[in-house]
Chain A
Amino acid sequence: MNAREAILGKARRALADVPDVEPVLDVPVVRPTPARDRTHEQVVDLFDERVADYRAVVERATGAAAADAVAGALAGRTPIAGSGPLRILVPPGFPPELVPSGIEVVTDGPDITVSDLDRCDGVLSTAAVGIAETGTIILDHGPGQGRRAATLVPDLHVCVIRADQVVAGVPEAVAGLDPVRPHTWISGPSATSDIELDRVEGVHGPRTLHVVIVGPAG
């Protein structure tokens, strides 16, 4: 007997006490309905506050000011190369009007190797969803978000999210995701508490997460 048949057979025998009914009828699952009494504006405010709680940088910007906010996130950083402009990874589909001038743009794609990524000073991306209660940004790696490695290897991640993409809680976010796509949930910069539970930001992922929330709430 192969391992598959052996395991499934053993599991069936182990469950001899379970009546042969539909799982849904056998064990009903009642999900709580969260009481949500915040306006969308308050939801966005909460998102702002909770992202900042992870020691990420959060900024609000409307209209044209968004481009300045993105440029500001890059200002003052030293290129890995030591001199010259910053090398910034920009995924296809990222709004061109938000790409600052004076940087070297590296366009993300399958031909960009891991060591190419490692030579980038930062990455710009959009997001798919924001979760207010947990301060989480979810990337589904659609247009503007790059491949999964794009927002991982460079040391700075500047993420632009529209206020209308922010939802209150985890259930609303999960309900809107397409399971077939890969997802990356980001709650603050890379962090560890493994040494005496002292929180240290930045182990392997970006050490700095800079979030720009664009547009009026609501």
Chain B
Amino acid sequence: MSGTFLGTPAFPTAARTALGDSQLRRNLAHATGTIRTKRAGVVGEVDEWEQLRLAGAAIKERVLRHLPDYLEQLERSLTAAGATVHWARDAAEANAIVVGIAQRHGTDEVVKVKSMATQEIELNEALEAAGIHAWETDLAELIVQLGDDLPSHILVPAIHRNRAEIREIFLREMGRAGKAAPEDLTDEPKQLAAAARAHLREKFLRAKVAVSGANFAVAETGTLTVVESEGNGRMCLTLPEVLVSVVGIEKVLPTFEDLDVMLQLLPRSSTGERMNPYTSTWTGVTPGDGPQEVHVVLLDNGRTDVLADPTGRQALRCIRCSACLNVCPVYERTGGHAYGSVYPGPIGAILTPQLRGVGSDPQTDSLPYASSLCGACFEVCPVRIDIPEVLVHLRGEVVDAHKKASRLPSVQDVAMKAASWTLSSAARTERAARAAGFGGKLAARVARRDPGGRTVLGAVPGPAGAWSDSRDVPVPAEESFRSWWERTDGGRSRTSDSDSDGGRS
């Protein structure tokens, strides 16, 4: 069974390892570049795209600002339509509900539709611990699961794997989990997909219980929606007798009509298609068609904490399209694993710290800094989440949390105090400038020329070391401006030995 993100190092360390993997960088550059181009093409076809984004953002904002009322309405609609509603405060409660339902039906396996919510709560591991096999049926999730790997992208979780690696995984692992891959399997995507089809079909045809998430849940009618491409979703949603859907409480839409806005925004933003191959909607139980026992688990797991922050709240608008990952220069170079969470990329950098709480561990606290703040993520977001705004806000939260945690003043605090003492007196400033000039003369002896011809220092010792590890530090001037002004009478009597930019080697 797949591992977990527990123990992932903080982003800068994980990113450094990822950057050293040239195969990974090639796979990612190809993938993100391809999806970016496709997305831009189909978004360009829609004249009213910007108004659609505004409508999408407003619908989600309306839901979030009145969430308790919509959740109660959703519960009533679902119950009236024949579904059973459960509430789960956290992962443990949600997992116990799903395990309990599977056990009541005496089954030792469930088929699963790709779902971020069930990954977030590590449902597969909980089922496995109860002796129930959870079979992922999305091709990419199957690759991740069979490879005992972790997802690295919201939409295409196995994007870090190439066809040769996938063939290896299928040949090695499929036989252990069910129907083996054919021995003459090549690495042609068509053949690999056919192997997955044969492997999973026997599981679909015998499964009694299926587990899904939902892209949207309509409060007005109790309608749940799943969008997908392969038909594995339709298999899970219609063939088994029992269907359990784990739905984050932020997935609510007020009305059925709202689906029209969301179903225009999601596929174009996500896969760059005008529409994904299959969308299924179901409202409770339909007699004579599909599962006759339908459960919905409404999951909090930190979402109400996110809701409590008026700036950070907008992260809950996310419809998991992954457009922000594909335009992010940081994601493109590090991939998803570096983020240490099922939600990678820009959205992960704001969602994960809020769901887990800042100030609790260094890995989580590093995520708001995993960004260049270039703003491309906001530009593509179909529900206009201002990711850079939330990143900056969360950086402040991280700093505050650490200030509270430690009474010792930080390096910056000490430096700023000292600077303020020095700059508040002309005499002290003058003495400091002379000292810097002296330092500059010393530094010039160890400086080197950078590729642009500027004279720079390498890594400097002391508290600034971490900063200068990845930056070139200009050499301080050998003479202060004040002293130069006095000596040359403001430049009117130039002398020959002190007219450069202060650096020489």
**Contacting residues, chain A, for B65 (C-beta < 8 A):** 15, 18, 23, 26-27
Q: What string of 1s and 0s marks CB contacts (under 8 Å) between A1-25 and chain B?
A: 0111011101111110110000110
Contacts of A28 in B (CB 8 A): 58
Q: Which residues of B have CB within 8 Å of A13?
A: 308
Cross-chain contact B261 with A204 (CB below 8 angstroms):
no
Q: Report the Cα distance A171→B51, complex, angstroms.
A: 14
Residue-wise, chain A 82-124 has the 8 Å CB interface mask toward B (1 for contact) of 0000000000000000000000000000100011001000000
A7 touches B48 (CB 8 A): no
Bound CA span A90–B156, Å: 36
CB under 8 Å from chain A, chain B span 195-246? 196-197, 200-201, 204-205, 218, 220-221, 223, 229-232, 234-235, 237-239
Evaluate contact between A23 and B62: CB separation under 8 angstroms.
yes
Contact with A along B52-94 (1 / 0, CB 8 A): 1011001101100111111110000000010000111100010
Q: Which of B55, B192, B286 contacts A182 (CB 8 A)?
A: B286
- Closest beta carbon of chain B to A199's beta carbon, Å: 8
Q: CA separation between A4 and B74, bound complex, in Å?
A: 13
- The answer, yes or no, to whether A40 is at the interface (CB within 8 Å) is no
Q: Which residue of B lies closest to A4 (CB)?
A: B87
**Given that A26-B65, A148-B238, A198-B189 are known contacts, is A31 also in contact with B55, CB under 8 Å in the complex?**
yes
CA distance in complex: A81, B417 (Å): 85
Query: Are B48 and A182 in contact (CB-based, < 8 A)?
Result: no
- Answer yes or no: A76 CB below 8 A from chain B CBs: no
Taking a contact as CB atoms under 8 Å apart, the answer to whether A193 and B156 are in contact is yes
A192: shortest Cβ distance to chain B, in Å?
5
| Chain A CB within 8 A of B358 CB | no
Of B249-257, B335-343, B366-374, B496-504, the stretch lying at the interface with chain A is B249-257
Q: Which of A57-65, A66-74, A131-139 contacts B (4 or more CB under 8 A)?
A: A131-139
In the complex with contacts A7-B304, A27-B62, A147-B234 CB distance below 8 A: no
Closest to A7 in B: B300
Q: Could you tell me if B277 and A182 are in contact, using CB atoms closer than 8 angstroms?
A: no
Q: In the docked arrangement, what's the CA distance between A54 and B271, Å? A: 13
Contact A135 B275 (CB under 8 A): yes
In the bound complex, how far is the Cα of B229 from the Cα of A188, in angstroms? 9
**B231 adjacent to A190 (CB under 8 Å):** yes
0/1 interface trace, chain A 207-218, chain B, CB 8 Å (1 if under) = 000000000000
B52/A3 in contact, CB under 8 A: no
With beta carbons under 8 angstroms apart, the residue of B54, B93, B162, B289 that contacts A30 is B54
Q: Is the CB of B197 within 8 A of A194?
A: no
A182 CB to nearest B CB, Å:
5
**Is B290 on the interface with A (CB-CB < 8 A)?**
yes
Nearest neighbor of A111 in chain B, beta-carbon distance: B288
Question: Which B residues, 388 to 408, have Cβ-Cβ distances below 8 Å to chain A?
Answer: none
Interface 1/0s, chain A 28-62, versus B by CB < 8 A?
11111111000000000000001001100000000
How far, in angstroms, from A34 to B55 measured CA to CA in the complex? Answer: 13
With contacts A7-B300, A14-B308 taken as known, whether A32 is within 8 angstroms of B48 at the C-beta atoms is yes
B431 at the binding interface (Cβ < 8 Å): no
Contact present for B300 and A203 (CB under 8 Å): no
Task: Specify which chain A residues have a CB less than 8 angstroms from the CB of B257 in the assembled complex.
Answer: 174-175
**Is the beta-carbon distance between A187 and B280 smaller than 8 angstroms?**
no
Q: Is B140 an interface residue (CB 8 A)?
A: yes
Q: Is the CB of B205 within 8 A of A114?
A: yes
| Smallest beta-carbon distance B197→chain A, Å | 6
B193 at the interface (CB under 8 A from A): yes
| Chain B residues with CB under 8 A of A34 | 47-48
| Contact indicator B197/A29 (Cβ below 8 Å) | no
B256 with A30: CB separation less than 8 A: no
Answer whether A14 and B289 are a contact pair too, CB < 8 Å, given A23-B254, A170-B264, A183-B281.
Answer: no
Nearest opposing residue in chain A for B304, CB measure: A10
CB distance from A195 to the nearest CB of B (A): 4
Q: Which of chain B's residues have a CB closer than 8 A to the CB of A80?
A: none
Task: Tell me which of A133, A147, A189 contacts B277 (CB under 8 A).
Answer: A189
Chain B CB within 10 A, most for which of A24, A29, A149: A29
- Alpha-carbon separation in the docked complex, A187 to B275 (Å): 6
Residue B278 is within 8 A (CB to CB) of chain A in the complex? yes
Min CB gap B190→A, angstroms: 5
Residue B139 is within 8 A (CB to CB) of chain A in the complex: yes
- Residues 248-277 of chain B, each 1 if its beta carbon lies under 8 Å from chain A, else 0: 010000101111110110010001011111
Q: A162 in the interface, Cβ–Cβ < 8 Å?
A: no
Q: Check B52 against A11 for contact (C-beta < 8 Å).
A: no
B30 pairs with A196, CB closer than 8 A: yes
Contact of B230 among A8, A31, A53, A191 (CB under 8 A): A191
B452 to A: closest C-beta gap in Å: 38
Say whether B58 contacts A29, CB under 8 Å. Answer: yes
Give the residues in chain B near A148, CB-CB below 8 Å: 234, 237-238, 280, 289-290
Q: Cα distance A98–B70 when bound, in Å?
A: 46
A35 CA to B235 CA, complexed, in Å = 37
- Asked if residues A183 and B304 are in contact (CB atoms below 8 Å), the reply is no
Q: How far is the CA of A9 from the CA of B216 in the complex (A)?
A: 23
6 chain-A/chain-B pairs, Cβ below 8 angstroms: A7-B304, A15-B65, A182-B289, A185-B275, A197-B31, A205-B231
Known: A27-B61, A50-B274, A205-B277. 19 other contacts (CB 8 A): A3-B89, A3-B300, A8-B72, A15-B66, A29-B55, A54-B277, A114-B239, A134-B274, A147-B238, A149-B239, A173-B260, A174-B263, A187-B276, A187-B278, A190-B278, A196-B162, A200-B189, A204-B232, A205-B234
Tell me the B residues contacting A by CB distance below 8 Å.
27, 30-31, 34-35, 45, 47-48, 51-52, 54-55, 58-59, 61-62, 65-72, 81, 86-89, 93, 137-140, 143, 156, 158-159, 162-163, 166, 189-190, 192-193, 196-197, 200-201, 204-205, 218, 220-221, 223, 229-232, 234-235, 237-239, 249, 254, 256-261, 263-264, 267, 271, 273-283, 286, 288-290, 298, 300, 304-305, 307-308, 310
**Which A residues are within 8 Å of any B CB, using their own CB?**
2-4, 6-8, 10-15, 17-18, 23-24, 26-35, 50, 53-54, 110, 114-115, 118, 131, 133-136, 141, 147-149, 152, 169-171, 173-175, 177, 179-198, 200, 202-206
